[in-house]
């Protein structure tokens, strides 16, 4: 049924309008991508005595909040951090947790440069596969694959606690992307990066969906975050535009609030972005039934 | 309450940069470890951390991180009894722990840690005559490091047994002669300490051939600032201290 008909027949009073998509998220994502790329570049420039003024000379490990997460065990038992991790990682971990309590994994959807990078590669995938893009893996199979990241999380925490070293670096495609020139990057990490790039052409954010241990941690906050993505069923016209817009393939249209552990708080499904009916899918505090 | 993406954008930026600004003001924001030794500038080992630059303030955790030596090996090698203290144990603590051995001319201190790390990692280092290793350290090195026959002979010769070490430590902690035993020039000894022990300012200045720059400065730091080995000043100054004792 054409969309206008749906609008007219199911919600005669709902106001629909043409979308002018807000650019704030793209701006924030681009800002963090450039910032992290420059900080990484600054490491080489620093060694050549040409460091960019006013820009942090920190290593990528020092500004990665996941470093704080893997350090928790060591910090709790001996009061120190694992190799290459510093106070800054711990502070960023707390900031990310505070944001996650409020909005869920905004760090994944708005800040993480590796998520942004996958989205950018995905734009090319969308051009190639059109509507089939991000719909290639059957849901029955896919929903189980989404839990692999929790297994990876447990492995990373166990390995880091046992060795007190940053074991994840050896497979981390994010570190590999921003340091591909460095001999600190392992071949395994470069292979994982290559596979992720390739998969991003078929699936949106494959690393986030199936493998990212930090996404797994932040995903848990979706269960109890304060501001949730909520759908107003009384104005909803069941066009399923929200479902189609969701990069994480969440079925937003079937419930009153998104509690799915995979939501990255990108707000693509909202009335501000995609939903054609104003005030129907929103980020809000209001109580409702869950998806 | 409903939020739009502009709100999420602003709140996210405020949390991240506000959090960084606030913790920087509170002196908590640290992106580097200031306990990182200098690297060899040239030669075969260029780019690797130089154990000679390990300072007394370095903890075993700092050393373990920089040189990738298991922290248990460091703790056991130097006779730290409680494994929970391995990570936060500072090299300079060895100097007071083994103070009486130093009085016998067998120093187990930061220099010993440097020596241990260099041998463990197969890196070059120059050690002072009176630098000793605990027997436990020697055993760990023999089991885990690639040592030449000559190095094995040397570390066996310059080793002290741990029971000796513990006894010395317990004596130093309880001996009534503590006051005298404490008057040993260590890495942390300042010019002021020497003067407090009764050494005349002029006598010190005669040995260092210079005015005392700042009484609070450690003799060790002064030596490195002047490009001298610590032992070059430590030995004659210790003799001076010993004369005062008598
Ligand atoms: S589109 Fe909506 S449901 Fe899907 S990840 Fe983004 S915010 Fe979450």
What are the pLDDT digits (tens) for A103-120?
A: 999 999 999 999 999 999
Instruction: Specify if A15 maps to a domain.
Output: no
Please tell me the total count of domains within chain B.
3
Helix axes A65-78, A148-163, angle to 10 degrees: 50
> Hey, CA dihedral for A223, A262, A290, A277, is it positive or negative?
positive
Q: Are residues B180 and B128 in the same domain?
A: no
Mean pLDDT across chain A: 85
Q: Are residues A173 and A291 in the same domain?
A: no
Q: Are residues B142 and B201 in the same domain?
A: no
Which residue did the predictor score with more confidence, A243 or A78?
A: A243
For the residues B102-110, what does the mean pLDDT come to? Answer: 80
**Closest-CA distance of chain A to residue B2, Å:** 4
Final residue belonging to a domain, choices A221, A239, A268: A221
Q: Are residues B4 and B62 in the same domain?
A: no
Q: Are residues B153 and B70 in the same domain?
A: yes
Nearest to B8 among A79, A98, A110 (CB): A110
ipTM surpasses 0.90:
no
Q: Are residues A69 and A124 in the same domain?
A: yes
Which residue did the predictor score with more confidence, A143 or B100?
A: A143
What residues in B contact A273, CB-CB < 8 Å?
Answer: 5
Q: Are residues B57 and B158 in the same domain?
A: yes
Q: Are residues A154 and A250 in the same domain?
A: no
Final residue belonging to a domain, choices A194, A221, A248: A221
Q: Are residues B152 and B196 in the same domain?
A: no
> Does residue A134's CB lie within 6 angstroms of at least one atom of ligand 1?
no
Distance in angstroms (rounded) separating the CA atoms of residues B152 and B193: 38
Q: Does B16 touch chain A (CB under 8 A)?
A: yes
Contact criterion met (CB < 8 Å) for B32 and A58: yes
Q: Are residues B139 and B213 in the same domain?
A: no
Final residue belonging to a domain, choices B165, B189, B204: B165
* Residue in the block written with tokens 């503590």: B178
Q: Where are the alpha helices (DSSP H) in B160-229?
A: 162-174, 178-181, 191-196, 201-208, 219-225
Instruction: Specify if A5 maps to a domain.
Output: no
Final residue belonging to a domain, choices A206, A221, A236: A221
Q: Are residues A183 and A260 in the same domain?
A: no
For the residues A194-220, what does the mean pLDDT come to? Answer: 96
Q: Are residues B61 and B144 in the same domain?
A: yes
- pLDDT above 90: percentage of residues in chain B: 21
Most confident of A40-44, B132-136, B194-198: B132-136
For the residues B220-236, what does the mean pLDDT come to? Answer: 78
Instruction: Specify if A119 maps to a domain.
Output: yes
What residues in A contact B59, CB-CB < 8 Å?
Answer: 80
Phi/psi at A283 (5° precision): -90, 110
Determine the pLDDT at residue B100.
Answer: 73
Q: Are residues A162 and A204 in the same domain?
A: yes
Q: Which of B1, B2, B49 to probe by mutation at the A interface, max A CB count within 10 Å? A: B2
Question: CB neighbours of B84 closer than 8 A, spacing ≥ 6?
Answer: A77, A78
Question: CB neighbours of A128 closer than 8 A, spacing ≥ 6?
Answer: A201
Determine the pLDDT at residue A83.
Answer: 61
Instruction: Specify if B148 maps to a domain.
Output: yes
Determine the pLDDT at residue B180.
Answer: 45
Q: Are residues A46 and A185 in the same domain?
A: yes
Please give the residue range of the domain that contains residue A235.
Answer: 228-291
Instruction: Specify if B38 maps to a domain.
Output: no
pLDDT digits (tens, 9 = 90+) for A65-88: 887 777 777 676 656 666 667 788
What the block records as the tokens of B67 is 């040189």
Q: How far is CA A146 from CA A100, B190, B205, in A?
A: 19, 62, 73
For the residues A146-155, what does the mean pLDDT come to? Answer: 94
Q: Are residues B225 and B125 in the same domain?
A: no
pLDDT digits (tens, 9 = 90+) for B12-26: 999 999 999 999 999
Distance in angstroms (rounded) separating the CA atoms of residues B5 and A24: 7
Nearest CA to ligand 1 atom 2: A269
Instruction: Specify if A7 maps to a domain.
Output: no
Residue A18 has pLDDT above 60, yes or no: no
Q: Does B60 touch chain A (CB under 8 A)?
A: no
- Is the CB of residue A266 less than 8 Å from the CB of residue A110? yes
Q: Are residues B209 and B157 in the same domain?
A: no
Distance in angstroms (rounded) separating the CA atoms of residues B201 and B187: 19
Instruction: Specify if A245 maps to a domain.
Output: yes
Instruction: Specify if B45 maps to a domain.
Output: no
Q: Are residues A258 and A162 in the same domain?
A: no
**What single-letter DSSP state applies at residue B139?**
H
Q: Are residues A153 and A85 in the same domain?
A: yes
Residue A240 has pLDDT above 90, yes or no: yes
Q: Are residues A129 and A54 in the same domain?
A: yes
Q: Are residues A143 and A115 in the same domain?
A: yes
Instruction: Specify if B107 maps to a domain.
Output: yes
> Does residue A252's CB lie within 6 angstroms of at least one atom of ligand 1?
yes
- Is the CB of residue B146 less than 8 Å from the CB of residue B76? no
* A to B CB pairs, distance under 8 Å: 104
- The strand pair at B2-3 and A281-284 is best described as antiparallel
Distance in angstroms (rounded) separating the CA atoms of residues B27 and A83: 21
Please give the residue range of the domain that contains residue B185.
Answer: 175-243
Q: Does B6 touch chain A (CB under 8 A)?
A: yes
Distance in angstroms (rounded) separating the CA atoms of residues A168 and B9: 29
Please tell me the total count of domains within chain A.
2
- Is the CB of residue A101 less than 8 Å from the CB of residue A226? yes
For the residues B38-47, what does the mean pLDDT come to? Answer: 81
**What single-letter DSSP state applies at residue A81?**
P
Q: Are residues B2 and B97 in the same domain?
A: no
């Amino acid at each position: 049924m054409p969309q206008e008909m749906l609008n007219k027949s199911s919600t005669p009073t709902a106001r629909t309008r043409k979308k002018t998509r807000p650019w704030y998220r793209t701006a924030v994502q681009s800002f963090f991508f450039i910032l992290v790329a420059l900080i990484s570049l600054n490491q080489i420039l620093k060694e050549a005595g040409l460091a960019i003024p006013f820009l942090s000379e920190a290593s990528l490990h020092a500004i990665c909040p996941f470093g704080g997460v893997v350090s928790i065990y060591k910090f709790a038992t001996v009061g120190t951090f694992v190799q290459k991790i510093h106070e800054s990682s711990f502070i960023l971990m707390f900031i990310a947790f505070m944001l996650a309590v409020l909005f869920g994994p905004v760090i994944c959807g708005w800040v993480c440069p590796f998520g942004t990078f996958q989205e950018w590669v995905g734009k090319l995938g969308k051009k190639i596969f059109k509507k089939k893009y991000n719909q290639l893996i059957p849901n029955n199979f896919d929903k189980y694959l989404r839990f692999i990241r929790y297994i990876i999380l447990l492995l990373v925490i166990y390995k880091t606690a046992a060795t007190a070293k940053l074991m994840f670096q050896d497979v981390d495609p994010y570190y590999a992307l921003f340091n591909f020139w460095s001999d600190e990057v392992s071949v395994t990490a470069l292979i994982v990066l290559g596979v992720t790039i390739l998969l991003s052409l078929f699936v949106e954010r494959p690393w986030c969906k199936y493998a990212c241990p930090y996404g797994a941690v932040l995903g848990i906050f979706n269960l109890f975050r304060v501001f949730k993505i909520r759908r107003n069923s009384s104005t909803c016209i069941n066009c399923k535009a929200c479902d189609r817009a969701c990069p994480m393939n969440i079925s937003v249209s079937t419930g009153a609030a998104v509690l799915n552990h995979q939501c990255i708080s990108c707000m693509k499904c909202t009335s501000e972005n995609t939903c054609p009916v104003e005030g129907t899918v929103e980020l809000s505090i209001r109580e409702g039934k869950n998806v | 309450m409903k939020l739009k993406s502009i709100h999420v954008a602003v709140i996210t930026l405020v949390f991240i940069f506000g959090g960084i600004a606030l913790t920087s003001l509170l002196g908590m924001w640290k992106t580097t470890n200031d306990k990182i030794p200098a690297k060899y500038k040239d030669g075969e080992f260029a780019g690797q951390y130089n154990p000679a630059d390990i300072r007394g303030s370095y903890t075993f955790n700092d050393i373990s991180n920089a040189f990738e030596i298991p922290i248990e090996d460091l703790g056991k090698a130097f006779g730290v009894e409680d494994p929970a203290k391995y990570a936060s144990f500072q090299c300079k603590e060895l100097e007071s722990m083994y103070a009486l051995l130093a009085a016998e001319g067998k120093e187990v201190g930061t220099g010993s840690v440097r020596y241990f790390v260099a041998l463990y990692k197969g890196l070059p280092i120059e050690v002072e005559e009176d630098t000793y290793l605990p027997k436990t350290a020697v055993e760990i090195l023999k089991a885990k490091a690639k040592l030449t026959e000559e190095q094995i002979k040397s570390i066996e010769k310059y080793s002290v047994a741990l029971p000796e070490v513990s006894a010395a430590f317990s004596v130093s902690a309880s001996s009534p002669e503590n006051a005298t035993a404490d008057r040993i020039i260590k890495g942390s000894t300042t010019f002021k300490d020497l003067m407090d022990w009764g050494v005349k300012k002029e006598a010190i200045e005669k040995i260092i051939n210079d005015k005392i720059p700042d009484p609070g400065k450690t003799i060790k730091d002064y030596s490195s600032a002047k490009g001298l080995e610590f032992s070059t000043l430590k030995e004659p100054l210790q003799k001076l201290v010993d004369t005062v004792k008598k």
